[in-house]
Amino acid sequence: MEKGKGIMGSGRRWAVDFSDNSTAPSSRDIPDPPGFARASVDQDDSTVSRQKKDAESNWKAQKAWEVAQAPFKNLLMMGFMMWMAGNTVHLFSIGITFSALWQPISALQGVGKVFEPYKDNKVDLLGPKLLFIALNLGGLALGVWKLNTLGLLPIHASDWVSSLPPAQEVEYSGGGIPL
Amino acid sequence: MAIMSFIFVFFFFSSLQPILSLYEDQVGLMDWHQQYIGKVKQAVFHTHKTGRKRVVASTEQNIIATLDLRRGEIFWRHVLGPNDVVDGIDIALGKYVITLSSGGSILRAWNLPDGQMVWESSLHGPKHSKPLLLTRNLIIEKDNVLIVFSNGRLNAVSCIDGEVLWKKDFEEESLEVQQVIQPPGSGFIYVLGFAASSQFEMYKINAKNGELLKHESTAFSGRFTGEVSLVSSETVVALDSTGSILLTISFHNGKISSQQTPVSNLLEDSPGLAVIIHPSVTGIFAIKTDAATIFIRVIGEGKLEVVEKTNHETVVSDALSISEGQQAFALVQHAGSSIHLTVKPAHDWDSNLLKESIKMDQQRGFVHKVFINNYIRTDRSHGFRALIVMEDHSLLLLQQGAIVWSREDGLASIIDVTTSELPVEKAGVSVAKVELNLFEWLKGHVLKLKGTLMLATPEDIAAIQHMRLKSSEKSKMTRDHNGFRKLLIALTRAGKLFGLHTGDGRIVWSHLLQSLHKSESCRQPIVLNLYQWQVPHHHALDENPSVLVVGRCGPSSDALGVLSLVDSYTGKEFSSLSLVHSVAQVIPLPYTDSTEQRLHLLIDADKHAHLYPKTPEAIDSFQSEFSNVYWYSVDDDNGIIKGYALKTKCSSNVADEFCFDSRELWSIVLPSESEKIITTATRKLNEAVHTQAKLIADQDVMYKYISSNLLFVATVAPKASGEIGSVTPEESWLVVYLIDTVTGRVLHRMTHHGSQGPVQAVLSENWVVYHYFNLRAHRYEMSVIEIYDQSRADNKDVWKLVVGNHNLTSPVSSYSRAEVITKSQSYFFTHSLKAIAVTLTVKGITSKQLLIGTIGDQVLALDKRFLDPRRSVNPKQAEREEGIIPLTDSLPIIPQSYITHSLRVEGLQSIITVAAKLESTTLVFAHGLDLFFTHYAPSRTYDSLTEDFSYALLLITIVVLVAAIFVTWILSQRKELQDRWR
């Protein structure tokens, strides 16, 4: 993910828009230089840029899928860590569980941002996005499941009555052995 | 990285071991211990020129102690058993303390310097009689001999090894021996007594071998009261049973001659019934009537002459021989706020050897006893020191007109204890006297830091320890944030109220209750109990808290009651009431009036209930709860438990709107041939319970049956109510009951076959723990019963609970007949018990521990988890996680969990627990003859830093960290700059 971003970023920084005003001859207000045949050059340029664009969008789509699949590796690692942490509540297992919960949530919040570099009107990002979301939801589910195995989910009656104060008594009685 | 830090923190926390015990240097930080000996009965001085001057005392609490005569500290002390009453003490050979105890059956010699027992001999005889101990320098064949008369037998016992040299029985059935006399320098002993109350008997015994030399008797027309007073080596004075005729009996040369003198001849006005008080001074004796004390001299052949008649309260000491043939005795008389000590020679009434007037604290009451001792001054004249025992049981040494030292030995017989908050620290009130200045504070912390960093020298360590022990913080007279500083208010048997500071155990105030003093209207006042009358908080903070002392005029249960209200801050009695009814029970109600005065219901012997305080406001608030107030009485003699409700206003006497009739609701009659009530236990009124649910393994829940109206009753077979081992297991059983005291419903009944009392029990939350003896196993056992409310058990729908759609917190009535289930389990326990209590915390969240007063007078803490009826031999994993300990047959005694550590609370009577404001901490006060106080945290102090936490180290760490952050920040800035220039 990091890598892809880097490549894309640098590619963009150095891209020169060759198809600047020249693509629209009607708007041109500077006369062509003498001996310049406009038509052939125009055609050449456009084919090159189209090819380039196609390659780029292909590459973007490929990268988007890669990025979308990235949480899967995370999922496996998380699973392994959870297994390592065991089922008792202590600092280590709680830390892992909460990071397992936090990572998918933060990833889901930034779905748009993650796929922004691959935004292109020719690239269909819906598929990768859905996969990405699904995998992260899977990660979240894993976290919740872990939370449950640790007994930290309040889904039992005991979780809701544990601090109920004793009921007040209506009657009061005192006494004992006479002094 | 994050995982690494998690692992690190995890290991750091798991490496912390739980410490429940104290370190050596923590002793005395939170706890204090005071030793007392009780009311002195007899005292003997030991003032030889060599060695330290000391006084040997025996007390009404069956203690033998030697005290330092200079400062009143205890050198050594022995507590004899409750049945081993000390009859007499003396010093023999200048190095042995001789004690006669247990009605004259046990004679012991103790080494005077260190209190080691040298020998013990048991003296038995044909019949019970008044024990008499005589130690004179009687020497038989180079052996120093003690003459002891006990159990109808005269014994001569060797001082060296306790061997009985000879004995002589006096088997005559009706003979009551009153005096054993050995005239100095003679080789015979006189045994004097009465036969059939009207015949005077005299036996002359050869001191060498116990041979009867002569027996004489003379009859007297009246009857004797029993007491005789020896006025010379061969004359005694006795009083007849009507108290009106004095008899002078002389037995010179074995011939008895007697002379009767009516008391009215000596005194013009009729004195009423007189009693002899015997100073045993040559030639003088005293009789005491209701109004006066009369000193009478015997002149010649039975002639009597009044030398002085005094209307003051007078106490006379025994005679003291100050030089060859010269005796002296002391008189102590009260005059206003001071006492007069007079020492007179025996032969000359009109001259005084010493006359001193000493200012005496009014709160000590009258002088009860005086013992004198003499010393030779540098100018070779006689000086006297007097040891006096006061009405409040305190002990004072007077010398040269001043009180040298005083001991508050009344605290050895505490009846009841309660606590009170200290005043709130107000702005403007200067406490600068105890406050340290900044420099000292800084110095202290630097020292502490040195200690933490192990840089301290031994002197520094000593200084740190001293600073910790003498911390002014703990002995301030204001309320503290954690609620550790309180006043312990102790009521003693002598009717004195003490306010003790929990910080260092000092006496803040002490007052002898005037309303419970002997007076015309109340001849024999008895203090009964202590209750919290007013505990102001919230809106009534400007009021002082106060306590209620309940007493009674006379020993019978229908004697009139006395109430006394005492301000807790000052100890002053601000109000007292002489009641027109008796007091059989005092029931503090859970209602207060607008000034936070607690309503109390006093039940008299006729089962009328009287409401106090008698204010219209109290009656108004009581009326609204009238139909919900019940009371019960346990008649342990007849085995009947009865419950009552209040009916109407008293019908019988004059209109009293604070008096209510009772209506009997229920009664439980135990079969008297098979069961006898020996113990009852109820929950503490002020106990806080955090939750009604108990979470068990697998997220399951059980609902506790929590009711303040629960009564635990233990009964044994009437045959088995005696000592352990007096019955066979087949004819002995123990039955325990849990009874709801509103409806009289027996919630649980259980029989322990082959078990026997005594039973000690404690009831808390929904469980009761009790201790008894198992005759079959020959071991002590402890059992636990937990009681759960089964009718709530189906409240398991999570959604209902989430929404709050349940009735778990709505008020419940005992008449709703909750379906209960009980669980119980028994375990062996090594010790026998003197007391049992449970820790008490302010919100009831902290787990509980039992505080067990062992037979060795120590307090042992035992986790309640050991007494959990759900323990099993192989608990499941989930149960283990819940904290269930695998079942063992006996309860462990962990030496580190003795909260009294190395100290002993001699004669331990009861353990009182009070909640501090800090949830984790309980204040524990154990009293008996000694007092012990400490803080105890059943689950360790999880909510505060420990006392020895080094704030300085924390501060330095923070400073170093901040400095490090700055330095690294600057360094990184510089590096970045260099990188950019590259």
The tens digit of pLDDT for each residue in B811-824 reads 888 888 888 999 99
Name chain B contacts of A157, Cβ cutoff 8 Å.
Answer: 699, 701, 795-798, 801
Asked if pLDDT for residue B686 goes beyond 50, the answer is yes
Question: Residue B823 in contact with residue B870, Cβ under 8 Å?
Answer: yes
Q: Does B700 touch chain A (CB under 8 A)?
A: yes
Tell me if B633 and A167 make a contact (CB, 8 A cut-off): no
- Residue A110 tokens read as 């930034």
- Contact between A178 and B528 using a beta-carbon 8 Å cutoff: no
CA distances from A175 to A178, B190, B587 (A): 8, 57, 6
Whether residue B11 has pLDDT greater than 50 = no
**Does B700 share its domain with B845?**
no
The total of structural domains in chain B comes to 4
Task: Say what percent of chain B tops pLDDT 90.
Answer: 31
- CB within 8 A of B822, min separation 6: which ones? B738, B747, B748, B785, B786, B787, B788
Same domain, B842 and B970: no
Q: Burial of B733 by CB count in 10 Å (0-12 exposed, 13-18 middle, 19+ buried)?
A: buried
Residues B791 and B710 in one domain: yes
Is B775 found in the same domain as B685? yes
**In which band, very low, low, confident or very high, does the pLDDT at B866 lie, cut at 50, 70 and 90?**
very high
Lowest-pLDDT range of A61-75, B271-285, B468-482, B777-791? B271-285
Residue B247 lies in a domain: no
Looking at the partner chain, which of A81, A158, A172 has a beta carbon nearest the beta carbon of B630?
Answer: A172
Query: B878 touching A, CB under 8 A?
Result: no
Q: A164 and B691 in contact by Cβ < 8 A?
A: yes
What integer best gives the mean pLDDT of chain B? 84
User: How many independent structural domains does chain A possess?
Assistant: 1
Instruction: Identify the residue with better confidence: B830 or B265.
Output: B830
Return the percent helix, strand and coil in chain A, to nearest 5. Answer: 70, 5, 30
Query: Which among B311, B223, B238 is positioned nearest to B275, based on CA atoms?
Result: B238
A141, A150, B106, B817 from B181: Cα distances, Å: 101, 87, 21, 74
- In the prediction, which pLDDT does B334 show? 83
Q: How far apart are CA B793 and CA B807, in angstroms?
A: 12
* Position B739 in a domain: yes
User: Which two three-digit tokens encode residue A10?
Assistant: 């640098």
| Amino acid in position B439 | F
| Whether residues B701 and B784 fall in one domain | yes
pLDDT in tens, B88-131: 888 888 888 989 888 888 899 999 888 899 999 888 877 777 77
Query: Is B387 among the domain residues?
Result: yes
The predicted-structure confidence for A106-147, as pLDDT tens digits, reads as follows 988 888 888 887 777 777 778 888 888 899 999 899 889 888
pLDDT at B16: 39
- Interface touch B630/A173, C-beta < 8 Å: yes
- Which residues of A fall within a CB distance of 8 Å from B808? 161, 164, 167
Among chain A residues, CA nearest to B683: A174
Which chain B residues have a beta carbon less than 8 Å from that of A99?
2
Residue of B nearest to A152 (CA): B699
Query: For position B23, what pLDDT does the model report?
Result: 78
Burial classification of residue B324, based on how many CB atoms lie within 10 Å of its CB (0-12 exposed, 13-18 middle, 19 or more buried)? exposed
Residue A125 lies in a domain: yes
**pLDDT over 50 (residue B2):** no
In this structure, is residue B892 part of a structural domain?
Answer: no
User: With 60 as the cut, is the pLDDT of residue A8 above it?
Assistant: no
Average pLDDT on A72-100 reads 86
Q: In this structure, what DSSP letter does residue B860 have?
A: E
pLDDT tens digits along B286-304: 777 766 777 877 776 667 7
Domain interval for residue B934 = 832-881+897-949
Is residue A4 in some structural domain? no
Place of tokens 């002489």: B578
User: Cβ contacts of residue B533 below 8 Å, gap of 6+?
Assistant: B546, B547, B548, B565, B597, B598, B600
**Are B697 and B822 contained in the same domain?**
yes
Q: Is the ipTM of this complex over 0.90?
A: no
Contact B796 A178 (CB under 8 A): no
* pLDDT for the residue B19: 45
Task: Tell me the angle at which helices A38-85 and A91-109 cross, rounded to the nearest 10 degrees.
Answer: 160
Domain membership of residue B736 (yes or no) is: yes
pTM over 0.80: yes
- Residue B706 near chain A (CB below 8 Å): yes
Domain annotation covers residue B59: no
For residues B807 and B882, the answer to whether their CB atoms sit within 8 Å is: no
For residue B125, report the phi and psi dihedrals to the nearest 5 degrees: -160, 180
DSSP state, B487? Answer: E
In B171-234 the beta strands, taken as DSSP E runs, fall at 175-181, 188-195, 199-206, 212-219, 224-232
Contact A81 B3 (CB under 8 A): yes
A5 falls within a domain: no
The answer on pLDDT for B641 being more than 70 is: yes
Q: For B571-596, how does the pLDDT look when each residue is reduced to its tens digit (9 = 90+)?
A: 888 888 888 888 999 999 988 888 88
- Predicted local distance difference test score (pLDDT) of residue B14: 40
Give yes or no for a contact between A170 and B812, defined as CB atoms under 8 angstroms apart: yes
Whether residue B808 lies within 8 A of chain A, CB to CB, comes out as yes
Cα gap B590→B606, rounded to integer Å: 24
Mean pLDDT of B857-863: 92
On whether residue B337 sits in a domain, the answer given is: yes
Q: Is residue B534 part of a domain?
A: no
Residue among B772, B770, B736, B739 nearest B751 (CA): B736
Residue B748 has pLDDT above 70, yes or no: yes
Q: Return the pLDDT at B714.
A: 94
B252 against B701, higher pLDDT: B701
SS3 B322: strand
DSSP label of A169: B
Give B179's pLDDT tier (boundaries 50, 70, 90).
confident
Q: Which residue of A has its CA nearest to B636?
A: A177
In the stretch 443-462 of chain B, residues with CB closer than 8 A to chain A read none
> What is the CA angle B419-B422-B424, rounded to 5?
145
Domain, as residue range, for A58? 52-155
B2/A163 CB distance under 8 A = no
pLDDT mean over B872-884: 86
* Beta bridge mates, B935: B923
